[in-house]
Chains A and B, each alone.
Chain A
Amino acid sequence: MPTDQLSIVFGALADPTRRAILASLAGGERSVGELGAPFAISQPAVSKHLRVLEGAGLITRSRRATARLSHLRAEPLRDATTWLLGYREYWEESFERLNELLAALQAAGPGEQPPAAMQEGRVP
């Protein structure tokens, strides 16, 4: 997912009503009326939220008879939550890996390259 798409997903997720709609859709497809029921907002307002979610790729919509049904799309949500891995978790894992690298470098001796198995990093 390109990073501008990620921004769109985050924008869509910034609203609590839209997050509640997504949580509701995790239980299966829902009509506009069903999605709006828990909220004190009008059907057009729900539709507006659904358009934002659709634009972010978080839901798809289909028609059955007269009902317009929304379906959850999980992939962009996973991408977004991957990014939400906390600051602390990100750095703690990095520091653990740094300690492992430092141990390997010191075992290899001064001025030597780390073992080939450690050289996974790619630089063009």
Chain B
Amino acid sequence: MTTATMRITAEPGGTLLETQRQVNGPRDLVFRAWTDPLLLAQWLGPRRLTMRVDAYDVRHGGSWRYVHVDTDGTEYGFRGVFHGDPTPDRIVQTFEFEGAPGHVSLDTLILEDQGARTLVRTISSYQTVEARDAMLDNGMADGMEQGFQQLDELLARLQA
């Protein structure tokens, strides 16, 4: 077992968000898990949500769409397009949450061969610094952060 956890890098004032995470499997297998929709549906997203892959056309210009379905039926849809034929060296795609149309990131996934393990690197480029920061828990503007702390407390009280 690796104890590796995800490392997130986000330079202050920049639009890039980079991550690194080591996983336990050879690169080709990780690539398969990432590009075969049957496999992707088995690991991407929180366990609590059911994953439905509506489209996953893994080639240059191919589009993808998947939906995380909550226990109450609420759907969170995501979509995008692959740019360039995906390889273990490089999967380039656009990423858009359907709840915020037009807010798109350009994501590059790089799989580094480490023998029995693979280093998964992602580089996401957002349209604005604010959009990038909004993706990060600790990057939120103070007001938002405080507001969501209030919401957390509120939810805790509602569920008590």
Contact = CB atoms under 8 A, between A and B. Distances in A.
Interface centre among A7, A74, A105, A123 (most CB of B within 10 A): A123
A122 B42 CA distance: 9
Contacts, number: 143
B74 A1 contact: yes
Interface residues of A, number: 53
Contacts of A87: 8, 17, 135-137
B37 A121 contact: yes
A85 B79 CA distance: 19
B47 A98 contact: no
Contacts of B44: 94, 97-98
B6 A102 contact: no
Interface in A71-90: 72, 74-75, 77-79, 81-90
Given A22-B154, A93-B46, A105-B33, A121 B51 contact: yes
Contacts of B23: 95, 98-99, 102
Interface of B: 2, 5-6, 8, 17, 19, 21, 23-25, 29-30, 32-33, 37-47, 51-54, 56, 70, 72, 74-77, 97-100, 120, 135-137, 143-144, 146-148, 150-155, 157-158
Given A82-B70, A92-B6, A119-B42, 8 more contacts: A77-B154, A81-B148, A101-B33, A105-B32, A105-B39, A114-B39, A121-B40, A123-B37
A86 B5 contact: no
B45 A121 contact: no
Given A90-B46, A102-B24, A3 B53 contact: no
A5 to B, nearest CB: 9
Nearest to A78: B155
Contacts of B77: 3
Contacts of A19: 147, 150-151
Nearest to A17: B147
B99 A103 contact: no
B46 A95 contact: no
